[in-house]
Amino acid sequence: MNKALKITLTIILFAVIFAAVIIGIKFAYDTYINSSYPLKYEEEVYSASDKYNIPKELIYGVIKTESNFDPEAVSAADARGLMQLTQPTFEWLNTYYADDNYDANNADLLFDPKINIDYGTLCLSVLLERYNNDLDTAICAYNAGLGNVDEWLTMKEYSSDGKTIDTTPFGETNEYLKRVKSNRDKYAELYFNK
C-alpha cells in the first residue's frame, strides 16, 4: 500500500471517528435535555395556555419548579399535583373564576393533571391580572400567597413603587422566582422561540 493511500485512509478513519464522537455527544445532550426539560402533558398545557392566554413556557417553568413533573407530588403545606395547588386555592378559584366546577372539597382532584394544569394556569392568569401583568409580583404571589404580597407592596423595603415586588423577606420566595424564570427561559429557548 503506497504512502498516499495510507494517509488518505487514516484521514477518513479520523473523520469517521470524529463524526461518531459528535453524534454521540449530540445524542447524550438531547437525552439530557429531554429528561431534564421534558414536554410532558402537552395537550393539557397547550389547552390551558390558549384558554387563559398564558405562555406555554411559563406553565412549563412553574411545573418544572413546583413538582418536576410528578403528578402525585405533595408539599409540606399539602399543595398537590403538578402545579402544587392547595385545597383552599382550588376552592377559591373554583368558586370565583372557573368555567368548570368541581367538588372543591375533594383535594384529590388536584392529582389529575388536566385539572391541576387548568387551575394552576387559571391562578397565574388571575394573579397577573391582579398585579397589572407584573410577572415577578404574580410569581411571588403564586408561591407566598396574596396576603403576603399585598402586605409587602405596602412596605418600601420590598416594593419601591407600591405596585411591584422588588424583593421579599422570604428567601424561599426569592429563590422560587429565580427558578421559575430560569426554567421558563430554558423552555422558551429549547422549544418555543425557534
CA distance 177 to 175: 5
Q: Which of 43, 66, 151, 175 is catalytic?
A: 66
Is the Cβ–Cβ distance between 114 and 45 less than 8 Å? no
| Side-chain-facing half-sphere of 115: CA atoms under 13 Å | 24
Closest to 144 in 3D by CA, of 68, 79, 72, 60: 79
Q: Is 66 marked active-site?
A: yes
Residue 156: exposure state from Cβ atoms within 10 A (0-12, 13-18, ≥19) = exposed
Residue 122: partners with Cβ closer than 8 Å, 6 or more residues away = 48, 52, 93, 97, 98
Angle between the N-to-C axes of helices 113-130 and 56-66, in degrees from 0 to 180, rounded to the nearest 10: 110
Is the Cβ–Cβ distance between 100 and 62 less than 8 Å? no
Catalytic residues, by residue number, are 66
